[in-house]
Amino acid sequence: MTPPVPSVAHAFAILRLLSARVEGMTMSEVARARSLSPSSCLNLLRALVSEGALQRDEDGRRYRLAPAWAASRVLDDAAARLVARAQPALARFAAQCDAAVGLWQQVSDTRLALVALAETGAATRIHMVPGQRQPVGGGSIGRALAAAERLPEAALARHFAALRWQKPLSFEAWLAQVCAASEAGYAIDDGYGHAGICSIGVAMPKPQGEQPDMPQFCLSASIFEGSRAPDQIAALGQALANLAQSSDLTAA
């Protein structure tokens, strides 16, 4: 699969964000919400304005969807609203728990994409970029998703066969970690997916009834490997599981 072009991915992320904010947003608010540098964010906003997708208020401070784009409702879907609504909750969680927090969307049968990110204010940070993808089954969110879907062992074995690890991990050990995630409500990847990084993953509940086509979303919280004791990691996992069930992320 061809990897996403970062600038294009960021541009569509901004459009999705503003589609749920009819009041518009300032450049600084967009930059914080999408974890972009001010200069990169400004360049993207200017490009979207020049292409007619966005417009600026008369005072030049706030950006919003151009009327034609807003009227088309092409970006107005449940998934886009969830991504926009989640950002403040992710930012609060990142600050409270001192962890990089990501919202992941399943975009195909084999891939998950990072669609929202909140980082800590620490000088040394874990590098994550909205738009990046990873295989289904990989990392903590892969284990959490496998646990939530309760797939048969043969299907799990196919997912595992497509994965690459930073340190050795057998299928039996990975399967045990999936089973542990099913019991705990969150999964842990301690340096297997990315060297030096411990991540906790949670599969968000899929809404029923009015939104049967809503894609699967997952949450991740990433910290440096060895930076916290096992009981602290467990507490972080439980907090992330609570966030996934909170009204901030489940309200329509």
- Bridge-based pairing state of the strands 54-56 and 62-65: antiparallel
Contact 85, 115 (CB under 8 A): no
What per-residue confidence (pLDDT) applies to 211? Answer: 53
Measured distance CA(5)–CA(135) in Å, rounded: 18
What per-residue confidence (pLDDT) applies to 130? Answer: 78
In the sheet that holds 54-56, the strands lie side by side as: 25-26, 62-65, 54-56
SS3 198: strand
pLDDT higher for 224 or 206? 224
What per-residue confidence (pLDDT) applies to 4? Answer: 56
pLDDT beyond 50 at 26: yes
Mean pLDDT of 31-41: 85
What per-residue confidence (pLDDT) applies to 76? Answer: 58
Mean pLDDT of 70-80: 67
Q: Which amino acid, residue 203? A: A
Integer angstrom CA distances of residue 181 from 29, 176, 230: 35, 9, 15
- Report, in angstroms and rounded to the nearest whole number, the Rg of the chain calculated over CA atoms: 19
Show the tokens assigned to 102.
């990501």
What per-residue confidence (pLDDT) applies to 170? Answer: 94
Show the tokens assigned to 12.
């569509």
Q: Which amino acid, residue 2? A: T
Residue 217: beta bridge partners? 105
Q: Report all structural domains of the chain as residue ranges with CATH numbers, in order of start.
A: 6-72 (1.10.10.10), 78-250 (3.30.450.40)
Q: Which amino acid, residue 214? A: M
What per-residue confidence (pLDDT) applies to 104? Answer: 92
Dump pLDDT digits (tens) for 84-130: 778 889 999 999 999 999 999 887 778 888 888 888 877 788 888 87
Question: pLDDT-based confidence at 74, cuts 50/70/90?
Answer: low
